[in-house]
Amino acid sequence: MPALLDPKNPAKNMIWTTDPRVELPILMTKEGPGSYAPITVMQLWEKTLAEYGDRGAVNDKINGKWRTYTYKQYYDLVVKFALGLVRLGISERSAVSILGYNCSEWFIDFNGAIFANCVAVGHYLTNGHEAVKYVIEHSDSEIFVAENQEMLDRVLTVWGTIPKLK
């Protein structure tokens, strides 16, 4: 049940919900950080690309060597992942479960889910197969992204019991 500012009128002034399909009003203040005009994730990406497109965005150390993505390269990978989700037929505002270490790919997947109009759901690295199943089911995830075979095995053991998972 959503929290309401006006309990006598449930359709008015809803301030939170657990349903990703419900749009909420943006509450603003007269001054301070709460007074800044809100922007979307897409607008932030556009602004960042215009200002810093060829600068380094993220760095990873892979097999002892540093790898750097510029904001433009990073953005292109995010778009590619989002298009992949759309091509797989994932429903808008459904969840994308992600299990992996703190690395560029995790954030590419996270942002790609947002670009595909989905909700990104992170899993704890310590989650076993039952916890992974619980999070997938309770978030209504349609897709599960794993960093490696060991992490993928956590969902493969329960795959047949999760009907929404593609």
The rounded distance, in Å, linking the Cα atoms of 95 and 110 is 11
For residue 20, what pLDDT band results from cuts at 50, 70 and 90? confident
**For 27, which DSSP code?**
P
**Which domains, and CATH codes, for the chain?**
53-166 (3.40.50.980)
d(CA 59, CA 73): 12
Per-residue pLDDT, 89: 93
- Summarised one tens digit per residue, pLDDT across range 79-124 is 999 999 999 999 988 999 999 998 899 999 999 999 999 999 999 9
Q: What is the pLDDT of residue 2?
A: 52
The pLDDT tens digits of the residues spanning 38-71 come to 998 999 999 999 999 999 999 999 899 999 999 9
Q: Give the chain's end-to-end CA distance (angstroms, integer).
A: 29
Q: How far is the C-alpha of 16 from the C-alpha of 4, rounded, in Å?
A: 8
C-alpha 162/C-alpha 93 separation (Å) is 18
The predicted model scores a pTM of 0.82
Q: How many residues does the chain have?
A: 166
Residue 46: its pLDDT value, please? Answer: 96
pLDDT at res. 7? 59
